Structure 1
Amino acid sequence: MSNSEFDTILVVDDTPTNLAVLSEALTAANYQVAVALDGETALEQVSYKPPHLILLDVMMPGIDGFETCRQLKANPDTADIPIIFMTALSDTVDKVKGLNLGAVDYITKPFQQEEVLARVNVHLQLYHLNHKLEAQVNERTAQLSEALESLREAQLQLIQNEKMSSLGQVVAGVAHEIKNPVNFIHGNLIHARGYITDLLALLTLYENCMPDVNPQVKTFAEDIDIEFLREDLPKLVDSMAVGANRIHGIIQSLKTFSSSGDDQFSDVNLHAGLDSTLLILSNRLKAKSCRPQVQVRKYYGELPLIDCCGGQLNQVFTTILSNALDALDNCAVDRGEDWQPYIEIETSVMGEMAVIEIRNNGGAIPPEIREHLFDSCVIRKPQGLGTGMGLPISHDIITQTHGGRLTCEVEGDRVGFIIEIPMQPDLTPPSREVQAASR
């Protein structure tokens, strides 16, 4: 509560005798005492050294105690200093006026020393208690705000993880449904090519052994352009085989993306993760009315398998590539006809880090936004276009879960995100601790 050795009391009275009596009593009680002979001097003293409590005479020359009190309470810096009026007035109206102005109490003249000290002590205790409660409330409010922000981040992370998990399940289901018929087509094309080759060989043998063809057969052969069929049919089968192989490759990419949809750490091919993410976003790369097709330039280096959470890294790749496509779409209206939108992906090894750089020419990010790209309290996307939490979540995945770094670099109209993942991380990611505890 109150500690009189550190409490300063300002006594304001135009009568020197009253100042002397009060100063002596308060000093004897170990209070630090300051004095002022009028309201103007009191206001000046309070402005540079605020006391903990003010004893204020009502009747003074110049501005009286009521006006002095009003000015003190009107100033936010001095409004909470408790004021006790000192007066010989016994009129209830005057007392009510002072209390309405913000005074906390009255002391009547002539002074009773014990009464003065008792009232001063009570109001100083209340003053310090109020400040202590305010500090506790502010601290608790800050803790609650931090807890709410953490909860909000956790909820958004769960939502994002659920989205990725659901997407992985859908992709896995599509890949599974397509896989069997494609394998059937792919497998049968091998036999179909052999059958067609045999049939064409048989047709050639018939023509060589029976040069005199029935007119009806000859007419039908001309109608179906047998020479063209003989030449084109093998090409048609080869084209079907190429298409089936392409679909088979897409299925493998879809399986790579979906099989990485959990939070388990394992040896991951980051190039396969990038390619599968590009496949998922391939429809957004196509030309639009506002821009040409987005070129994807890959500069893949020699990366080993990385011990990491493939599903979460795919989430990071998806966020950064999606944001790049948003930027390319948004800036397209300001570019000329010769403008070519592109995304560059470069991978390399630097020291103990696997580095993935994803760049685009979608225009610079203003410095005031760049400073808060990874702050969870800043919403960067308009309503309906996402939570704006993709980059903060990605930053946590890279830095907290994997012990890496995620940074943004801007050069002209090029924006690049650099992901650095330890190939042999020194720290134990939180998700690994969870895995170990669950075994």
Structure 2
Amino acid sequence: MLGQLVAGVAHEMNNPISCIISNIRPAQEYVADLTQILQLCQQHYFQLPPIIQDAIAQADIEFLLDDLPKLLNSMQISTERIKDISVSLRNFARADTSVKVKFDVHEGLDTTLLILRHRLKGLGQRPEIKVVRQYAPLPKVECYPGQLNQVFMNILANAVDALEDIWQQGKRVNDSLAINICTEMSSPEDVTIRIFDNGIGMTDEVRQRIFDCLFTTKALGKGTGLGLAIAHQIIVEKHGGAIKVNSTLNQGTEFVIVLPLKEQHELDA
């Protein structure tokens, strides 16, 4: 259901985005032509009628001719950004399959990060959250990609929350806010994904309950307490893997996910 909703939103975004992208280039060419004509008029007509001179002065035409191409370039960059988000949403939705398929976990991580990029940018006094990727060469994993992306989304969104919390509490003012993502082959049959943030961290008591259903450290109205419980269910029950958390209060949190490359009965065959 979630995949269908996301796919529908991405599809509805695609047509207007394509229209804007296809029209920006001719608009830039039209502006360039009009700019050249106006500049030629200024060069060859020294005594323009007063009404035109007044209009030029009121419009600040020199600034206008300089700024308008920059404005169109900014629009082009923004539409390309929206197109990237639309592609990521479609990829996220396509991953929502009811059967296990071979999946590139790096693609899932990158797609999730792109969707969350608005939360990674600097906000007010809070600096940008840096993401450091250390990806090892990995084979594709046989899994439910949509469910795996849901796990990545829950963990990464929680990491952003933890970084925002430590910044607001003034405990990470001079240090950068960062999320590190590392992948490796932990054995010939398993891949390991480590997601570490240098955020607020947690106490041992909280760490021991973090995967309990309905347990949350968030304020009322800011969480359901289902995200990490579902993540645990997806990794352990649906994929036969393992997930654990290492954390130190005011230093950070690391989630470690271990996934088998194939289903257990295939490995035993």
Calculate the TM-score normalised by the size of structure 2.
0.75
Distance between the aligned counterparts of 2:18 and 2:65, measured in 1? 27
Residue 259 to residue 318, structure 1, CA distance change in 2 (3 Å): same
Q: Kindly provide the CA deviation profile for residues 12-44 of structure 1, in whole angstroms up to 9, marking residues without a partner as x.
A: xxxxxxxxxxxxxxxxxxxxxxxxxxxxxxxxx
What residue in structure 1 maps to residue 33 of structure 2?
A: 198
Which runs of structure 2 are paired with 1:155-194 in the superposition (5 Å)? 165-166=1-2, 168-194=3-29
Distance between the aligned counterparts of 2:180 and 2:167, measured in 1? 21
Secondary structure at the residue paired with 1:346?
Answer: strand
Q: Kindly provide the CA deviation profile for residues 161-180 of structure 1, in whole angstroms up to 9, marking residues without a partner as x.
A: xxxx33x3433333222221
1:417 aligns with 2:255: yes
Secondary structure at the residue paired with 2:235?
Answer: helix
Specify the code of the residue in structure 2 equivalent to 1:409. Answer: N
1:220 aligns with 2:58: no
Q: Once the 2 structures are TM-superposed, how far is the Cα of residue 235 of structure 1 from its aligned partner?
A: 1.8
What residue in structure 2 maps to residue 133 of structure 1?
A: none
What residue in structure 2 maps to residue 319 of structure 1?
A: 154
Check the 8 A contact 1:328/1:341 in 2, yes or no.
no
Check the 8 A contact 2:165/2:200 in 1, yes or no.
no
Q: Which runs of 5+ in 1 are unaligned?
A: 1-164, 430-439
Q: Once the 2 structures are TM-superposed, how far is the Cα of residue 324 of structure 1 from its aligned partner?
A: 3.3
Q: Kindly provide the CA deviation profile for residues 328-357 of structure 1, in whole angstroms up to 9, marking residues without a partner as x.
A: 566667544726683513132224444322
Specify the code of the residue in structure 1 equivalent to 2:241. Answer: G
> Aligned residues, how many?
259
Check the 8 A contact 2:121/2:129 in 1, yes or no.
no
Distance between the aligned counterparts of 2:180 and 2:196, measured in 1? 7
Q: Which runs of 5+ in 2 are unaligned?
A: none
What residue in structure 1 maps to residue 232 of structure 2?
A: 395
Q: Kindly provide the CA deviation profile for residues 230-256 of structure 1, in whole angstroms up to 9, marking residues without a partner as x.
A: 322222221111111111112122222
Hey, which bits of structure 1, 4+ residues long, moved more than 6 A?
Answer: 286-289
Residue 344 to residue 188, structure 1, CA distance change in 2 (3 Å): same
Secondary structure at the residue paired with 1:398?
Answer: helix
Q: Kindly provide the CA deviation profile for residues 397-433 of structure 1, in whole angstroms up to 9, marking residues without a partner as x.
A: 22343333322223562210012234x425259xxxx
What residue in structure 2 maps to residue 122 of structure 1?
A: none
Identity, % of aligned positions? 34
Residue 203 to residue 309, structure 1, CA distance change in 2 (3 Å): same
What residue in structure 2 maps to residue 359 of structure 1?
A: 196
Specify the code of the residue in structure 1 equivalent to 2:135. Answer: G
Distance between the aligned counterparts of 1:226 and 1:284, measured in 2? 38
Calculate the TM-score normalised by the size of structure 1.
0.50
Question: Which residue among 370, 388, 392 is the counterpart of 2:207?
Answer: 370
What residue in structure 2 maps to residue 405 of structure 1?
A: 242
Q: Which has the bigger relative contact order, CA under 8 A and spacing at least 6?
A: 2
What residue in structure 2 maps to residue 231 of structure 1?
A: 66
